[in-house]
Amino acid sequence: MRFLATLVVLSFSLSAAGVDPSQLKPLRYRNAGPLRGGRVTAITGVRAEPHTFYMGATGGGVWKTTDAGGTWLPIADGQIPNGSIGAIAVSESDPNVVYVGTGSAAIRSNVIHGRGLYKSTDAGKTWQFIGLRDAGQIGSLRVHPKDPNLVYAAVLGQPFVEDRERLSFDPKVRGVFRSKDGGRTWQNVLHIDDHTGVVSLSLNPWNPAEIYAGAWRAERKPWTIISGGPASTGGIYKTTDGGDTWTHLENGLPKTLIGKVDIDVSPALPTRVYAVLEAPGTEAGVYRSDDSGATWKQVSSQPSLIRRPFYYTYIDADPKNADVVWVNNLSLLRSADGGATWRTVPTPHGDNHGLWIHPDDPRIMIQSNDGGANVTLNGGRTWSTIYNQPTAEIYQIAADHQTPYRLYGAQQDNSTLIVPSLPPRAARADDPIQLWTTGSGCETGPIMPHPTNPDIVYGSCKGEFSRLNLKTGQEKNYWTHPQNRYGHASRDIRYRHQRVSPMEISPHNPRVIYYGSQFVHRTMDEGVTWQLISPDLTANEPGEKQGISGEPITRDITGEEVYSTLYAIRESAKEPGLIWTGANDGPFHVTRDGGKNWKNVTPKDLPPGGRVQNIEPSPHRKGSAYFAVYRYLLGDFRPYIYRTDDYGASWKKTVTGIPADVPVRVVREDPVRAGLLFAGTEHGAFYSTNSGTSWA
């Protein structure tokens, strides 16, 4: 299989003296597609310009449209060095002033952490950093309607805090922050505790000193999510003096546990406040106050309003009709009777995350979901396309041996896809014509082409292996063992396949395919039968780490947090039977006889519990390999790349030149030039010309 990374032709000398970043200046990335949008959790519009909107993708940066979604342009590339956007706000009194908070607050296990706040004073042409670098995920921004310099930020904080001895940030940066000088300085006006942040804010448009804040204890671990805490600290807070003092609202709200909360004041009747919140059992749902938060009443506990609450949970009041309210969840729902009954409003994509309604014309809205952002000018009867936004989140990529070659990837909440490496250009030079096709497997992947037959593609879907014939369209699906992972603790599953189960086609025999659970499985008949060729190669962590994800209120049974499972399998192209594995709980293993005997070769200086994100056997040297370890989910953002030249007997950590707070996801060695490495990280790509001794 082709080199699984971006291939570039480098004309500079590969001397061992070091690397020179200026050597990369002539190189440019080229968009190969698709133009199918990716997940968006931050949107807003411009009151004075009804067809102008902004969106922030969870991995694709900040975009702007001036024609109601007909076309979108990236406006912060190269200026905001973080693709994960949590919130966007435009000043009503000066639409040139735009604030952006990085770090999406829909905290999936693969969410990218934020790196603070940015501001534009020219409607998005240029940006400057304005602080709160350790804020983590920023769920909401609100600007005073008369003062563009008075801005409030809902700071959830960093969701990854498990390894407190090695945290790469200040975990106390949480709550509501206020700036009175356009972001030059910030004051933490509401700090609840070191575990509880704020995810939502709503200002009374008729009295902007009256603000409501939704507090949420939210923490991610590699094996679970904590969403919610005691009602005594979570829930809804209110200020009537612009944030100087706050009151915890309790009357009529759940008394024991409260999870994620969103709030909106009705502009049509400002004494009416809506909230949607996570709580135990039938206490979850939509609440309404008709006396400015003094008392609350649950108006609906309909389950469709509060599915998978950590991921959704958004509510928006119509600006002209106090009885009309919207909720974004798996579907977009609308109520016309104050929240008592609900109907579904179709959107271009499911898994919905946000809605902005024009204050003067509620027919004009922008809505976001896992497929991108879409605009309506007629109250939701029709929407703009999501097939004009190259913001797809791709789990991994592969390439085949055709000329020109094809690229293969798995797109979050969509499908696997196959795109030509040189698609025809559209009207705009950066846009490829839509020539992508769906491949085998599903959104999680991986997907890999047969090494010698381009009509055959292998894929995976959450532990289910598949073979697709592109010529006939026939797809066959196989399991290593028939089992339902959903709703079961990891320890009770025979084979602990996680969502992105690793797959490897042998570089020596294309009939041999390896597949990972806690074991290495091997098939020689394209998935019809499987053979175990290893013992458990994980740390096999006991107790809660192999339980059912989700606490203390809602279970999340998607299999995303299956722990103590393999995350990477690679066979050396230089030596048949030399197979390396890495687990998502730390251990490295190697076999030199095709799986008969295995050896634990985990580096002694590697902190425990990290996920082996990627393995790269050297295509040039027997016994040499690179491992990228990802401890980001534990709160350790440091880069970890290890190299061995003696089959794992010894290891060298090789990260010089990569910043200390940039986690590494992948490392690859050029198949032609020995020692030329590429590393993909949480915040950009790096390269080395000396086998990782130094990076730029």
In a domain, residue 393? The reply is no
What number of residues does the chain have? 696
Over residues 595-643, the pLDDT tens digits come to: 999 999 999 999 999 999 999 999 999 999 999 999 999 999 999 999 9
| Surface-to-core class of residue 154, CB atoms within 10 Å of its CB (0-12 exposed, 13-18 middle, 19+ buried) | buried
CA angle at residue 480 from 414 to 452, to 5 degrees? 70
* Rounded CA separation 180/676 (Å): 49
pLDDT band, very low/low/confident/very high, at 336 (cuts 50, 70, 90)? very high
> Contact 145/208 with Cβ under 8 angstroms?
yes
In a domain, residue 246? The reply is yes
Higher-scoring residue by pLDDT: 431, 107: 107
CA angle at residue 303 from 302 to 305, to 5 degrees? 75
Residue 9 pLDDT: 29
Over residues 577-598, the pLDDT tens digits come to: 999 999 999 999 999 999 999 9
Residue 18 pLDDT: 59
User: CATH number for the domain including 61?
Assistant: 2.130.10.10
Query: Residue 12: is its pLDDT beyond 70?
Result: no
User: For a pLDDT cut of 90, what percent of the chain falls above it?
Assistant: 83
> Contact 446/411 with Cβ under 8 angstroms?
no
Residue 530 pLDDT: 97
- The whole domain housing 218 covers 40-376
Residue 486 pLDDT: 77
| Total domains present in the chain | 1
Query: Residue 51: is its pLDDT beyond 60?
Result: yes
* Rounded CA separation 521/536 (Å): 11
Q: What is the pTM of this model?
A: 0.94
* Rounded CA separation 476/540 (Å): 32
What mean pLDDT do residues 323-336 have? Answer: 99
Query: Residue 571: is its pLDDT beyond 90?
Result: yes
In a domain, residue 456? The reply is no
User: For a pLDDT cut of 70, what percent of the chain falls above it?
Assistant: 96
pLDDT band, very low/low/confident/very high, at 212 (cuts 50, 70, 90)? very high
Q: Look up residue 306 and give its two tokens.
A: 């509060």
In a domain, residue 28? The reply is no
Residue 554 pLDDT: 94
Tally of CA atoms within 13 A in the half-sphere of 184 that contains its CB: 5
In a domain, residue 668? The reply is no
Q: Look up residue 373 and give its two tokens.
A: 């952002």
What would you report as the CA-atom Rg of the chain, rounded to the nearest whole angstrom?
25
> Contact 425/432 with Cβ under 8 angstroms?
yes
Residue 542 pLDDT: 86
* Rounded CA separation 104/102 (Å): 7
In a domain, residue 684? The reply is no
In a domain, residue 239? The reply is yes
Beta carbons within 10 angstroms of residue 11's beta carbon:
6
Residue 14 pLDDT: 36
Residue 433 pLDDT: 61
Over residues 376-425, the pLDDT tens digits come to: 999 999 999 999 999 999 988 999 999 999 999 999 989 999 999 887 76
In a domain, residue 457? The reply is no
Residue 7 pLDDT: 32
